[in-house]
Amino acid sequence: MSYPNQNPYGPPPGQQPHYGYPQQPQQPQPPSPYGPYPGGGGIPGMQMPYPTVMPGGVKAARVMLFVLSGLNLIGLVLAVMGLGGVSKASHEVSPYTASDDITAMNIGKGLLIAVIVIIVVFTAAAITLALQFANGGRGVRTGTIIFGVANIMLSLFTFPIGLVHTVLGILVMVFVSKDEGNAWFSRPRY
């Protein structure tokens, strides 16, 4: 007794596989004048695979955030030393000096304290964002772009000294905003 074919869609017994029209080689597709299909490569419905390794531009942005935080720590040490010097000078002022000098020293202390607070906030933000690059999502990317804009705006107030901060802030924003950065931060997480 003969059993029926186990694969109902396979070739019938006694026939050659691929019987019928011969296989045609794939013809190369001419480039589209409108660019690739929005969903991915050139094939509709096929998505580009997400990166599994952090792209080079994103790594560079991460390193630049660590460099910015290191520069901020150096600035923090200098600001604390300046606050100590102003504080020491204000204690050595005689009570018979003009009140304008004492007011100027108090304003100087207040400004240095404000600068110290800003430096601490920016250093903490840079370190936190850089540490989140490996597993962060779109929020980390958005936070990094906002950090870059704020860093550029503040560094313009201290232009000659803050030029390094300006350049690094621009580079961080550019590297995170590129397509490879978008693909890295929008990849699915398991």
User: Distance between CA atoms of 150 and 164, rounded to whole angstroms?
Assistant: 14
Give 50's pLDDT tier (boundaries 50, 70, 90): confident
**Which among 107, 148, 149, 106 has a CA at the least distance from the CA of 129?**
148
Q: Tell me the CA distances in angstroms from 125 to 10, 49, 146, 155, one per residue in order.
A: 62, 31, 11, 16
Looking at residue 64, its pLDDT comes to 94
DSSP structural state of residue 19:
-
The angle that helices 159-177 and 138-155 make with each other, rounded to 10 degrees, is 160
Q: Are 155 and 166 in contact (CB under 8 A)?
A: yes
Higher pLDDT, 9 or 161: 161
Average pLDDT for 86-104: 74
What's the whole-number mean pLDDT along residues 27-37? 60
DSSP 78-131: HHHHHHHHHHHHHHSS-TTS-HHHHHHHHHHHHHHHHHHHHHHHHHHHHHHHHH
Going from N- to C-terminal start, the domains of the chain cover 56-185
pLDDT tens across 97-110, in order?
667 777 777 788 88
66, two tokens: 């660590």
Task: Write down the residue that tokens 């704020």 correspond to.
Answer: 150
Residue 52 above 90 pLDDT? no
| Residue scoring higher pLDDT (148 or 95) | 148
- Which helix or strand (DSSP H or E) is residue 142 part of? helix 138-155
Q: What is the pLDDT of residue 182?
A: 87
pLDDT band at 184 (very low <50, low <70, confident <90, very high): confident
Lowest mean pLDDT among 70-74, 103-107, 112-116, 119-123: 103-107
Calpha distance 111→109 (Å, rounded)? 5
- Under DSSP, is residue 3 helix (H, G, I), strand (E, B) or coil? coil
